[in-house]
Amino acid sequence: MVGAVSRLRAAADAAAVVAASGAAIALLAAGYDRPGPAAAVLLAAAVAAVAVTAGAARVLPRLGPAFALLAGLPVAFAGLVALAARRPGPVREPVPAALDAVLHSGARILTTTSQAPLTVDLIAFPLLAVWLAGATGTALRRDGRGLPALLPGALLLAGAATLNPEAVGAGYRSAALLAVAGAVLLVLSPPERPAAAPAGITVRVLAGGFRPAPRRSASRRAAAGAVLACAVAVPSFGMVVAAPGVLDDWPVRAADPRTVVDSPEEPREVRNPLAYLSAWAAEPNRPLMTVRGPRTGLRWVALAEFTGPTWLPDSTYRPSGPALPPPGVRPPRAKRASVEVAVRDLPGDWVPVPGTPTRIEGLDFGYDAASGTALSSKGPVAGRTYRATGSVPDLSGGEASRATPALGPGFERYARLPQGAPARLIDIARKAAGDGTPHQRASRLAEYLRESYTIGPAARGGHGYAELNELLVEPGRKGGGGTSEQFASAFAVLARAAGLPSRIMVGFGPGTGGDGGRVVRTGDAVAWGEICYEGLGWVPYDPNPRVRSGAAERAGTGEGASGGPGPGGGARTPAPPRAVAAHSRPGTPVWPVAGLAVAAVLPLYLVAVPLLRWRRLRRMRRMRDCARKALTAWTEVLVAMRLAGVPAPPAATASEVTAHLERSIPGTDAARLQRTARIVNAAGFGGPVTSQDASLAVTEARSLIRELRRSRPWWRRASWWWDPRPLRWSAQSSRLTRRVQTGSAWATRSTSTTATTVRQ
Amino acid sequence: MSTTAASPTMAGTATDEEAVLAADTFDRMAAAIESAARCAPATVRLVLTAFATGGHVLLEDLPGMGKTTLARALAAVTGGTSRRVQCTPDLLPSDITGVTIFNERSREFEFHPGPVFANVVIVDEINRTSPKTQSALLEVMQEEQVTVDGTPHPVPRPFLVAATQNPVEMEGTFPLPEAQLDRFLMRLTLGYPGEEAELALMRGGSLTAPGDLSPVLDAAEAARLGEIAGRVSVAEPVYEYALRLAQRTRRHPGLRAGVSMRATIALCRAARMHALADGRAYVTPDDVKALVPPVWGHRLVPLSGPAGADEAAELLDGVLAEVPAPGPHENPR
């Protein structure tokens, strides 16, 4: 029976260590495009780490925990080799691929989008981290340490949270799992800590597994464990179920470390996409691609860097798996659109996608999260077929009407105009934009361009200051023709001159055709301007004049108010200001968050603090070393004195402390106090301490603690066992004790701090 | 001081049985002395501690407080001889160390030992004699021998100088130099006895004459006490505590000079014996705190001049209150 209980206990213990070390798995797996398989791989690593380390420690216990840790590493590497055979990275041969993964995994994770593909080089680092967490946790646990066994898992969880700050829900699940594992480990922890050896290394010999607890205490331990487990599990469950829903919109997010890492750049010889528009406008019927799926426009390239002569596209593209990270700002009422694109003759490497892409299959590509554009990593997209899914926002609700332009840190470059701007540009911008909200001003700019000019397919190309000066500045070509690239550029430049953050987007209309596929032609290509708003992201504005011209007509045809990424989806849609301030997302109320936090922490606090303090007293009573027992009892007395507001003076010796107690607590037995002082002095300074002495010291300590508590006002008495400070004071005392044991404390601490840890 | 050959058990620390036996010896000596001299028991303990440690005592108090009686009682219970020197300004060094005289009969020079050749030497009103005579005591107090005409003459062991001085009447006196004060292990004041004790003294007849006291221990036993005290264990934090106290006196703003290294060594030696007198084979910070005022008080040099007993006690109380004492829980085994 005892053996079965012991085995069951060991199994529960191992499962708790697996749970602790694998708590971060949900969070880590959220960073992959296929979280399920990634979680399975990491979970297998956690289980194997615990099993291998425990096995190694059991087979060769004399070699110590370091050997057990090292013994598992070859197994972990073998696992990587097996994984490399199925999911290789850039290197194809399994063993070199595993080696390559070990060496480069960290760097590649940081230079890949958060939804990374599940390849060996992108999962090796998390896998080894999980393995080490499991192995270290097992070694600590076998060393008799309960809560420290949680530390590797907690550190891993912190690292995973840093790596995937957007995976809020997974983070709560991971934290809850870690809390539950901690509760289990706490309940299953042995009653007595191992004694610390002078060298600072603890050794614990457990013959035949864990020592069964005394029968008489089993019920109490079970009750305490059940209470603690409930206290942890209930709020943890609440966190898992409720917190993601409540906190998902929490405005505070940790920064993604990938954003501060420069990804390797591969220079590409590509033409500026705007330059194609003029040529395509002159030859509007050349097919570029065939699109199957819902009727929606496609976004191609974003250009945010204006140099004066030209607009440049963003160039920070990170390798990505099929799944793409969610956008930093979630546009309102976004609809999912998935299209299959067969590219015929599209130049360049940019990948046309519907709206903000969330998934691209059938193509190796890099992704620039800032602009939401994708770039084929295997050269031009011509001749390729892929499926792209994106979220297309519906801005017809007037969300932009009261939105504030995004001009904070990171957005300055979108409002910057290089030197050389035509002198009258500011005047034109001011006159055209007028007064009003940012959205009204941007809309007037677009309207000014739309109504004052016409599309001239035969007009000369170019979109720099010179062309804009010719187009905009009086007498200019007002009433005459321009190209889409020029109107988009004019809108963006005027917007910046008016203080609005802007960029140019190049894309395509939905094309023409039936269910068999729509053909997108060169005449469907169009450029438009976008303004960035707080909480809304980039809102499109169509500055292209409405004339019977191929590009403009197609771009506007059929898009209506809910059109997609193209100009029809935004520039024409922004409705007159309405009462609904849609841009101000329902603010996250603070009280549910605070209430949730209190609900999660309070039960844990109410149960954990008395339990931990009770554990200390229980440990004191069960100590076998008489001197340590007496000294621990004395420490508890000093802690209680401090808690009771009668701290022992730092310069007081044990005898003087007892005299202080005698004065503080009327009616105490002076002889017993002196006897206690003599026992603890003997215990601390080299005298003999019998078990009877130790028991007497413990009895006296408990009596004194009781009396000290009674001496306090009722409300202090009521909160006595819930005051967490004694845990810290005791821990400080323990640390000091260990330092003294290693002979370092008295040599290093200053006079002013000597012996004050517990007393004050 | 003669030492007993070390047995195997003596090589380690003192045992609890040895400590208990030593404490019993101390108790019996203290009881005997207290039957002859109406002194505070703590003072008697300190005098006995100094005697067993091999240190000398400076009794500083008003006349008629029982200083000489205490010294004579100590001499009696230790089974040794006691001699008394009444210091006057015209006292010569040879008057206390002894002289070499030519014996007409034997036609040889013979050494006639002075009063320092006793186990307990009572030097009354030491500050009334000249510095030259005071310095004559230096050698015998430190070396436990007297050199006359180039010939060293060892004094009997155990050897204790119990000097007295009157702290009030300073006219015509020669204050002891710091070097000589440092030779004394302790400076003690007897103080007035309690009312009951003083009434008993007035009634008379209740005290035993010092000369009638029976010896409690002999020289060999006294040496044995010293040997056991040498094996009393002192935990490292206690040594460190004594060092911190000494360092504090050296940095004290009200002191021209703190205590010397000799003073810290003396403190530790005395603390061992103090612990033994209490029946313990280990020293606690309580031993150190109890001994700091008597052992260090006369060694302090305040900015305002030599420290009297009260002033020294006040200074040292401040030092003891400032320096944290090591708690037993900070030195687990």
User: What tens digit of pLDDT does each residue of A468-504 get?
Assistant: 877 777 656 665 677 888 888 889 888 888 888 999 8
> Angle at CA A277, nearest 5°, toward A273 and A280?
125
Q: For chain A, what percent of residues have pLDDT higher than 70?
A: 76
Q: Does B39 touch chain A (CB under 8 A)?
A: no
Whether the CB-CB separation of B330 and B282 falls below 8 Å is answered with: no
Residue of chain A with shortest Cα separation from B329: A631
Distance spanning both ends of chain B, measured CA to CA? 34
| Tokens read off for B1 | 């001081």
Cβ of A740 and B333 within 8 Å?
A: no
Q: How far apart (Å, rounded) are the C-alpha atoms in residues A374 and A72?
A: 41
Of A213, A520, A490, which is closest to residue A346 (Cα–Cα)? A520
Identify the pLDDT of residue A253.
58
Q: Does B158 touch chain A (CB under 8 A)?
A: no
Cβ of B332 and A685 within 8 Å?
A: no
Find the mean pLDDT for residues A603-626: 78
Note the CATH architecture for domain A399-570: Roll (3.10)
Cβ of B331 and A740 within 8 Å?
A: yes
Residues 234-293 on B with a CB inside 8 Å of A are: 235-238, 240, 244, 247-248, 280-286, 289
Is the predicted pLDDT of residue B313 greater than 50, yes or no? yes
Whether the CB-CB separation of B115 and B71 falls below 8 Å is answered with: no
> Angle at CA B112, nearest 5°, toward B111 and B114?
125
Identify the pLDDT of residue A519.
87
Q: Where do the domains of chain B lie?
A: 21-202, 231-327
**What ipTM was estimated for this complex?**
0.78
Is the predicted pLDDT of residue A737 greater than 60, yes or no? no
Residue B133 distance to chain A (closest CA, Å): 42
Whether the CB-CB separation of A397 and A580 falls below 8 Å is answered with: yes
What band does A190 get if pLDDT is binned at 50, 70 and 90? Answer: low
Whether omega for the bond prior to residue A475 falls within 30 degrees of 0, making it cis, is: yes
For an interface test with B, give the residue of A626, A655, A679, A685 to mutate (most B CBs within 10 A): A685
> Angle at CA B74, nearest 5°, toward B68 and B75?
90
User: Strand pairing partners for A326?
Assistant: none
Q: Which residues of A touch B13 (CB under 8 A)?
A: 686
pLDDT in tens, A325-363: 777 777 777 788 888 888 888 888 888 988 888 888 888
Question: In chain A, what are the helix, strand and coil shares in percent, each to the nearest 5?
Answer: 50, 10, 35
Question: CB-CB: which of A628, A652, A683 is closest to B325?
Answer: A652
A498-512, A635-649, B8-22, B203-217: least confidently modelled range: B8-22
Is the predicted pLDDT of residue B288 greater than 90, yes or no? yes
Residue A212 distance to chain B (closest CA, Å): 28
Residue holding tokens 């999660």?
A: A600
Of A560, A498, A567, which is closest to residue A530 (Cα–Cα)? A567
What band does A223 get if pLDDT is binned at 50, 70 and 90? Answer: low
pLDDT in tens, B37-79: 877 888 888 988 998 888 898 888 777 777 778 888 888 888 7
What band does B287 get if pLDDT is binned at 50, 70 and 90? Answer: very high
Identify the pLDDT of residue A743.
44
Q: Does B15 touch chain A (CB under 8 A)?
A: no
More confident residue, B93 or A3: B93
| Tokens read off for B69 | 């009686």
- β-pairing, B56-60 vs B160-165, is parallel
Is the predicted pLDDT of residue A415 greater than 50, yes or no? yes
Whether the CB-CB separation of B282 and A682 falls below 8 Å is answered with: yes
Identify the pLDDT of residue A577.
33
CATH class of the domain at B21-202: alpha beta
Q: How far apart (Å, rounded) are the C-alpha atoms in residues B16 and B14?
A: 7
Is the predicted pLDDT of residue A242 greater than 60, yes or no? no
Query: For residue A353, what is the DSSP state?
Result: B
- β-pairing, B108-113 vs B160-165, is unpaired
Whether omega for the bond prior to residue B158 falls within 30 degrees of 0, making it cis, is: yes
Q: Which helix (H) or strand (E) holds A663?
A: helix A654-664
Q: How far apart (Å, rounded) are the C-alpha atoms in residues A487 and B117?
A: 122
Q: How far apart (Å, rounded) are the C-alpha atoms in residues B272 and B282?
A: 7
Of A566, A476, A481, which is closest to residue A527 (Cα–Cα)? A566
Q: How far apart (Å, rounded) are the C-alpha atoms in residues A448 and A427?
A: 14
Find the mean pLDDT for residues A690-695: 86
What band does B265 get if pLDDT is binned at 50, 70 and 90? Answer: very high
Of A597, A550, A626, A558, which is closest to residue A280 (Cα–Cα)? A550
Residue holding tokens 């500011």?
A: A426
Find the mean pLDDT for residues B76-83: 82
Using left for φ > 0, alpha for ψ between -120 and 50, and beta otherwise, residue B313 falls in: alpha
Name every residue in A having a CB less than 8 A away from some CB of B: 627-628, 631-632, 634-635, 638, 649-656, 680-688, 733, 736-737, 740-741, 743, 745-746, 751, 754-756, 758-759
Find the mean pLDDT for residues B241-247: 92
Return the CATH number of the domain spanning residue range B231-327: 1.10.8.80
The Cα-based distances of A109 to A79, A92, A154, A157, B325 in angstroms read 19, 18, 21, 16, 55
Q: Does B16 touch chain A (CB under 8 A)?
A: yes
Identify the pLDDT of residue A194.
43
Sequence-distant (6+) residues with CB within 8 A of A107 are none
Of A746, A759, A735, which is closest to residue A651 (Cα–Cα)? A759
The Cα-based distances of A407 to A306, A315, A410, A415, B282 in angstroms read 17, 21, 8, 8, 75
| Tokens read off for A718 | 């009521």
Of B328, B276, B24, which is closest to residue A679 (Cα–Cα)? B328
Q: Which residues of B touch A656 (CB under 8 A)?
A: 286, 325
Identify the pLDDT of residue B284.
92
Average pLDDT taken over every residue of chain A: 75
More confident residue, A66 or B181: B181
Q: For chain A, what percent of residues have pLDDT higher than 90?
A: 0
Is the predicted pLDDT of residue B80 greater than 70, yes or no? yes
